[in-house]
């Protein structure tokens, strides 16, 4: 039996960051991964999907050429070439997350499945390993709905869609969240006839209705058949029947109805680690589980399932475990981005939630008033700032091109408690999409100065200044 200071179970983003952080502190670290390091983000999530979206965006740009007086014809999509681009992107990034890179960072990497056999012991194949502390970072996988007939269908998920060798002629997407919408729009732009079915009233139902409406309009323009407020009742190879009687035929179906944690089969009961009713590990604000020796990070915790969140929490869990600190998860500035066209980026309190809280106010700037959007013919977006009674920026939603880049400034504003006037006072380059938050903040400042006591004081100051100048010139 061997021993280590920190055991990390899972080699995705959370596990890799946790392991490297602990090794930096001088701890002896063992990371166990049963498949391949890099996790969903590298192999089936962020990297391949954004590579596919990039290829699809080129097609969309060419087809939009007529709006700029440019006519392009005979746009041909070589799906093999597209998938080669996706694989090339993965290959370019994979070395950063490889076992070799981890070993270079003084992390011992073991290939296999870890199974807890005690509160401080795991079995890996025929070997046993005891640990002083551990971080569970086993991630999540696509959830599969209880849908009549699904067992007869060779369906795809966000894990397996990358195995396609031919572009589907007709693609059905069940689920209109971020992943479903990203892939639906990309495949539609590449040439598939895409239908998307979402049981909620809107696509991306967690987002503000204005954001969902802008995305829906764009997807319809791309040829996607959008069915919202619709529930799949049964499915068979080739067609799905909806509860309202509609029938949609398909050649391939993508299941994208959420994700479920990978917590089964690793011996959590033996370790004294509890899970909630959804299967996620129960953790406190410091990411410690019910076993004080064991911590958790990433999608397995039930926190927002984003790569950036997993990385941040991996570092936090390792720091708390190795250094004995009590750093808590920061929930004030967690951003999220849906990488569709338009992109939807949100941080802090979203506008929909803010409208239900009397002390909060939403400032909206439609992008038809944004000069950069006008020059690019992308005026369907909007910028929304959420401010409290002290005019502090507590949330933002940006809908438009490169919204995921623009939201970075708003993450800082929310995190640092900046006020709208702080944002307005910072000169921004013109013309950019960052003008959206800036002009929204300027509008808020002007509204403060245009009425009430501030307005009267300014008017008095202006009159006094005028009198003083006249006296000096006489």
Q: Where are the beta strands (DSSP E) in 258-342?
A: 259-261, 294-296, 336-338
| Contact in structure between 258 and 279 (CB atoms under 8 Å) | no
pLDDT category of residue 459 using cuts at 50, 70 and 90: low
Please name the CATH architecture into which domain 150-257 falls: 3-Layer(bba) Sandwich (3.50)
Q: What is the mean pLDDT of residues 37-61?
A: 96
Three-class DSSP category at 257: coil
| Contact in structure between 167 and 79 (CB atoms under 8 Å) | yes
The two domains 150-257 and 342-449 share their CATH topology (first three levels equal): no
> What CA–CA distance (Å, rounded) separates 64 from 218?
12
Residues 133-184 have pLDDT tens digits of: 999 999 999 999 999 999 999 999 999 999 999 999 999 999 999 999 999 9
What per-residue confidence (pLDDT) applies to 454?
60
What per-residue confidence (pLDDT) applies to 453?
56
What per-residue confidence (pLDDT) applies to 88?
97
Q: How many CB atoms lie within 10 A of CB 95?
A: 10
What per-residue confidence (pLDDT) applies to 71?
82
> What CA–CA distance (Å, rounded) separates 471 from 172?
78
| In the predicted structure, residue 468 carries a pLDDT above the cut 70 | no
> What CA–CA distance (Å, rounded) separates 197 from 227?
5
| In the predicted structure, residue 74 carries a pLDDT above the cut 90 | no
Lowest mean pLDDT among 6-10, 48-52, 345-349, 442-446: 442-446
Which residue, 290, 312, 311, 287, is CA-closest to 301?
287
Q: What is the mean pLDDT of residues 186-211?
A: 97
What per-residue confidence (pLDDT) applies to 446?
84
Q: Are strands 294-296 and 361-366 parallel, antiparallel or unpaired?
A: unpaired
> What CA–CA distance (Å, rounded) separates 239 from 243?
13
What per-residue confidence (pLDDT) applies to 471?
72
> What CA–CA distance (Å, rounded) separates 192 from 186?
9
Q: What is the mean pLDDT of residues 425-439?
A: 95
Q: Which residue has the tokens 């979206």?
A: 53
Q: Which helix (H) or strand (E) element contains residue 428?
A: none
Residue 219 tokens, joined: 């997807």
Residues 82-105 have pLDDT tens digits of: 999 999 999 999 999 999 999 999
| Contact in structure between 377 and 403 (CB atoms under 8 Å) | no
Q: How many CB atoms lie within 10 A of CB 439?
A: 19
Question: How would you write 125-189 as a 3-class SS string?
Answer: CCEEEEEEEEEECCCEEECCCCCECHHHCCCECCCCHHHCCCCCCEEEEECCCHHHHHHHHHHHH
Q: Which residue has the tokens 């006008």?
A: 374
| In the predicted structure, residue 456 carries a pLDDT above the cut 60 | no
Exposed e or buried b per residue across 53-83, where buried means at least 16 C-beta atoms within 10 angstroms of its C-beta: bebbbebbeeeeeeeeeeeeeeeebebeebb
pLDDT cut 90: percent of the chain above it: 88
CATH tag for 342-449 (out of 1.10.10.2840, 3.40.50.150, 3.60.15.10, 3.30.390.30): 3.30.390.30
Domain 2-142+260-323: give its CATH superfamily. Answer: FAD/NAD(P)-binding domain (3.50.50.60)
Which residue, 141, 129, 139, 136, is CA-closest to 273?
136
Q: What is the mean pLDDT of residues 444-456?
A: 69
Specify the pTM.
Answer: 0.93
Q: What is the mean pLDDT of residues 108-126?
A: 96
Residues 226-260 have pLDDT tens digits of: 999 999 999 999 999 999 999 999 999 999 999 99
Structural domain boundaries in the chain: 2-142+260-323, 150-257, 342-449
| In the predicted structure, residue 455 carries a pLDDT above the cut 70 | no
| Contact in structure between 252 and 183 (CB atoms under 8 Å) | no
What per-residue confidence (pLDDT) applies to 295?
98
pLDDT category of residue 461 using cuts at 50, 70 and 90: low
| In the predicted structure, residue 464 carries a pLDDT above the cut 80 | no
Q: Where are the beta strands (DSSP E) in 199-342?
A: 225-228, 232-236, 239-242, 247-249, 252-255, 259-261, 294-296, 336-338
The average confidence (pLDDT) of the chain is 94
């Amino acid at each position: 039996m061997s021993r280590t200071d920190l055991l990390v179970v899972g080699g995705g983003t959370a596990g890799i960051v946790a392991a490297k952080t602990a090794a930096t502190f001088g701890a002896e670290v063992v990371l166990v991964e049963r498949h391949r390091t890099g996790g969903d983000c590298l192999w089936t999530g962020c990297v391949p999907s954004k590579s596919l979206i990039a290829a699809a965006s080129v097609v969309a740009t060419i087809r939009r050429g007529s709006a700029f007086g440019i006519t392009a014809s005979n746009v041909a999509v070589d799906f093999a070439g597209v998938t080669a681009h996706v694989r090339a992107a993965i290959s370019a990034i994979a070395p950063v997350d490889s076992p070799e890179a981890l070993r270079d960072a003084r992390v011992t990497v073991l290939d296999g499945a870890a199974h807890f056999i005690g509160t401080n012991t795991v079995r890996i194949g025929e070997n046993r390993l005891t640990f002083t502390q551990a971080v569970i970072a086993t991630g999540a996988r696509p959830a599969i709905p209880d849908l009549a007939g699904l067992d007869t269908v060779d369906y795809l998920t966000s894990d397996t869609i990358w195995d396609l060798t031919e572009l589907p002629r007709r693609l059905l997407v069940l689920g209109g969240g971020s992943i479903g919408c990203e892939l639906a729009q990309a495949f539609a732009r590449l040439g598939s006839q895409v239908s998307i079915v979402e049981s909620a009233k809107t696509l991306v139902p967690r987002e503000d209705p204005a954001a969902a409406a802008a995305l829906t309009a764009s997807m319809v323009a791309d040829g996607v058949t959008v069915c919202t407020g619709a529930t799949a009742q049964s499915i068979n190879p080739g067609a799905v029947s909806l509860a309202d009687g509609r029938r949609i035929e398909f050649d391939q179906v993508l299941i994208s109805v959420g994700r479920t944690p990978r917590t089964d089969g690793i011996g959590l009961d033996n370790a004294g680690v509890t899970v909630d009713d959804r299967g996620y590990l129960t953790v406190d604000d410091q990411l410690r589980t019910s076993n004080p020796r064991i911590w958790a990070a990433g999608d397995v915790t039930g926190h927002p399932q984003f790569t950036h969140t997993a990385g941040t929490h991996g570092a936090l869990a390792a720091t708390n475990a190795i250094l004995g600190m009590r750093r808590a998860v920061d929930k004030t500035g967690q951003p999220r981005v849906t990488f569709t066209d338009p992109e939807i980026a949100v941080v802090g309190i979203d506008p929909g939630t803010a409208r239900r809280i009397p002390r909060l106010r939403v400032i909206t700037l439609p992008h038809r008033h944004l000069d950069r959007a006008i020059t690019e013919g992308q005026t369907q977006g909007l910028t929304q700032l959420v401010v409290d009674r002290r005019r502090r920026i507590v949330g933002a939603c940006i809908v438009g091109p490169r919204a995921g880049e623009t939201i970075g400034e708003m993450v800082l504003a929310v995190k640092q408690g900046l006020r709208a006037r702080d944002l307005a006072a910072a000169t921004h380059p013109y013309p950019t999409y960052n003008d959206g938050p800036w002009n929204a903040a300027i509008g808020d400042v002007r509204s403060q100065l245009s009425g009430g006591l501030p307005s009267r004081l300014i008017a008095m100051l202006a009159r006094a200044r005028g009198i003083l100048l006249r006296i000096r010139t006489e």
